[in-house]
């Protein structure tokens, strides 16, 4: 039995702002584990199943971040399929199915896993997969239903029948209806995880949503492969209708089956879900980072860059980052999206970036910003190089803090070590490289009339940007 994990990593997790940002989304954060991100936990979870290399479907902006996180845990041979635009799960899974067929493993079973789920009971998870595999090998489209432990209003439900049959898919209920579902014992939470053959899924998609199937096939056939990435044709995919796998395929199909999963599970969709899932202290608090709490209960407090003190508070979520602080009643967790919407409307960037911005060559962090100056701390990984570029509106002064920098400054090439510096005038072509074996750290001081990241003219770039 050949299983290919398909990890769906297209979301941005706006309800987990300010920790989750558009360019560093929640699935790439270590929210429930000190060492591994949610994405890495998802990839690690499949290893004992003797599966093939995964297919990851993500957006363009996250490609290097996803590749780096897979590399960190030793995952090799993964196909990273880039969605030009988010079109929900039905098209995303179709892309993965086509990629599996392209790799000549058409009869493999695709194990569809959202990148942001947390599952601790791996043994129960594997048992459910083994049950599902028997059904999927007979061309069933299998979904996994989580046995509910409480009357939950934030999930859709599946009413199960005999022999793993699906009697009904139902929308998120109100509290009273959710309680009746729990009491009946016939309903399962809709987990968003699936197992089926690539061919079986594409066949049902073509039957019920031929418009989606045709658009995805056209976009995939016009793809090109760039380094480790599969780039889907942007124009063709943008014309694809948007729909979820539930509405497009699972509800109308006659081939749906549901396998119950009895272990613990959470989709960590918002701060209240993280609070419910995580271990708490004697005061029912979750205190992460440099936090002091006095006479406070039922709170989640997370400090990223400084001391946070909470005194005499109840039922709060407090999340501190270098550039934003969230203070929220735990019962209003879904409303964080309203703040993110306002940030977008006002043209701010706190919904997009942290002060530390990750790039394929390393990262940079803004230390100070004024009208005509900006100071950055730049870290370049060993062997990596920034693009050959120039700026129309700013000059730059680089000071090496540690490591060795190989610098192209106009027609000169120089090596700089600790405490050495160079000045790059406006309009001069330049590049920065770390030729050493340790991380390069330097301070960049920018000065000029415009300091935006879009004032970069690239002449060459090893990362294809």
DSSP 295: S
Collect all residues with Cβ–Cβ distance below 8 Å to 338 and sequence separation of at least 6: none
pLDDT digits (tens, 9 = 90+) for 308-323: 999 999 999 999 999 9
Query: The domain at 3-261 falls in which architecture?
Result: Alpha-Beta Complex (3.90)
Q: How far is CA 201 from CA 95, 110, 181, in A?
A: 11, 9, 29
DSSP 20: S
Residue 35: φ, ψ to 5°: -105, -40
377 CA to centre of own chain: 25
* pLDDT number for residue 194: 97
Listed by start position, the domains of the chain span 3-261, 271-339, 356-460
**Integer Cα distance of 269 and 188 in angstroms:** 18
* pLDDT number for residue 116: 92
**Helix pair 89-102, 198-208: axis angle to 10 deg:** 140
Residues of the chain with pLDDT under 50: none
* pLDDT number for residue 34: 85
* pLDDT number for residue 449: 94
Which CATH class for the 356-460 domain?
Answer: mainly beta
Write down the pTM of the prediction. Answer: 0.86
**Integer Cα distance of 209 and 202 in angstroms:** 10
């Amino acid at each position: 039995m050949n299983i290919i994990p398909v990890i769906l990593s297209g979301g941005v997790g706006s309800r987990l702002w300010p920790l989750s940002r558009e360019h560093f989304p929640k699935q790439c954060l270590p929210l429930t584990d000190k060492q591994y991100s949610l994405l890495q936990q998802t990839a690690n979870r499949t290893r004992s199943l003797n599966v093939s290399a995964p297919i990851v479907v993500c957006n363009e902006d996250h490609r290097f971040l996803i590749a780096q996180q897979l590399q960190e845990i030793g995952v090799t041979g993964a196909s990273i399929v880039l969605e030009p635009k988010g079109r929900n799960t039905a098209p995303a899974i179709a892309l993965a199915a086509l990629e599996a067929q392209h790799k000549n493993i058409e009869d493999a079973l695709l194990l569809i896993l959202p990148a942001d789920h947390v599952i601790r009971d791996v043994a129960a998870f594997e048992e459910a997969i083994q049950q599902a595999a028997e059904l999927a090998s007979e061309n069933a489209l299998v979904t996994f239903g989580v046995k509910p432990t409480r009357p939950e209003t934030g999930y859709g439900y599946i009413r199960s029948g005999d022999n793993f049959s699906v009697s009904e898919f139902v929308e998120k209920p109100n509290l009273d209806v959710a309680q009746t579902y729990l009491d009946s014992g016939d309903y399962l939470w809709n987990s968003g995880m699936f197992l089926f053959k690539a061919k079986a899924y594409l066949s049902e998609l073509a039957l019920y949503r031929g418009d989606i199937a045709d658009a995805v096939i056209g976009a995939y056939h016009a793809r090109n492969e760039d380094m480790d990435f599969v780039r889907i044709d942007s124009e063709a995919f943008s014309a694809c209708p948007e729909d979820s796998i539930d509405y497009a395929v699972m509800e109308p199909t006659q081939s749906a089956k549901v396998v119950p999963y009895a272990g613990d599970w959470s989709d960590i969709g918002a701060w209240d879900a993280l609070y419910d899932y995580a271990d708490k202290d004697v005061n029912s608090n979750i205190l992460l980072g440099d936090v002091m709490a006095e006479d406070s209960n039922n709170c989640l407090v997370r400090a990223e860059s400084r001391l946070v003190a909470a005194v005499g508070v109840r039922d709060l979520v407090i999340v501190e980052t270098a550039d934003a602080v969230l203070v929220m009643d735990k019962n209003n967790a879904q409303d964080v999206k309203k703040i993110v919407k306002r940030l977008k409307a006002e043209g701010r960037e706190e919904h997009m970036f942290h002060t530390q911005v990750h790039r394929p060559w390393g990262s940079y962090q803004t230390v100070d910003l004024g009208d005509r100056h900006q100071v950055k701390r730049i870290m370049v990984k060993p062997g990596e190089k920034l693009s050959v570029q120039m700026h129309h509106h700013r000059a730059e002064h680089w000071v090496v803090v540690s490591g060795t920098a190989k610098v192209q400054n106009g027609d000169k090439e120089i090596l700089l070590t600790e405490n050495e510096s160079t000045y790059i005038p406006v309009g001069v072509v330049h590049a920065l490289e770390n030729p050493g074996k340790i991380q390069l750290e330097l301070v960049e001081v920018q000065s000029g009339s415009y300091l935006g990241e879009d004032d970069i003219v690239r002449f060459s770039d090893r990362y294809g940007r």
